[in-house]
Amino acid sequence: MKFFLDTADIAEIRDLAATGLVDGVTTNPSLVAKSGRNFIEVVREICGVVSGPVSAETTATDHPTMLAEGRKLAKIAKNIAVKVPLTPDGLKTCKMLHAEGAMVNVTLCFSAAQAILAAKAGATFVSPFVGRLDDIGESGMALIRDIVEIYRQYQGFKTEVLVASIRHPMHVVEAAKLGAQIGTMPPTVMRQLFLHPLTDKGLAAFLADWKKTGQSILGDAKAAAAE
């Protein structure tokens, strides 16, 4: 499973990208607005930090303007994925951008029927929002299960399932079990994936025992360097 960061915070992206575990980034107008910086500049900088896909979202709702915005965004860097909404105009734009060789992320997917349309339009990624479905009493993971199952039936569907609106580590685990190719998550959720109380407890015990020996693995190296 590929991990994308859902943020426009450059410092967070740099820090987590250094782990080698970040495969891409997703942004949206709200996330970029929080940075207080120029939209194009932020997206271009993110593209320089990560080599994987970076989703940059259009803001128009009509097809002609959305297409013009998408073409401009696609020129920022080779790893841009133009993000469009799952609307008739968005899918029309997706179809044209796909034909022009651009990666497209179709966002705001809330049903399997919508996901089928995104795949038929040539979307590189479809972004079903699991957390927002959970919020209204529906099952976000049931939607992921349906989309993954449907896509597997058709070799012509090349669209990857990019699970969005991830709220906690179990969303990541469940999506991975279902076979979703990508999970995009806030930095806080990715950091939570590292955590387990038994890991902390075990490490503390190992370090305490090691301290009692009075040894240092780098001790000799330090002495040699000092000479």
b/e map 16-40, b = 16+ CB within 10 Å:
bbeeeebbbbbbbeebbeebeeebe
Contact by Cβ (8 Å): 131, 163: no
Angstrom distance (rounded) from CA 121 to CA 164: 20
Please pick, among 83, 95, 120, 177, the residue that the annotation labels catalytic: 83
Angstrom distance (rounded) from CA 19 to CA 38: 27
Query: What amino acid is encoded at 142 in this protein?
Result: A
Q: Of how many residues is the chain composed?
A: 227
Instruction: Give residues with Cβ within 8 angstroms of 96, minimum separation 6.
Output: 67
CA distances from 136 to 113, 129, 130, 133, 169 (A): 19, 12, 10, 5, 20
The question of whether 83 is a catalytic residue gets the answer yes
Instruction: Give residues with Cβ within 8 angstroms of 161, minimum separation 6.
Output: 115, 125, 126, 128, 144, 147, 148, 151, 179, 180, 181, 182
Catalytic positions, please? 83
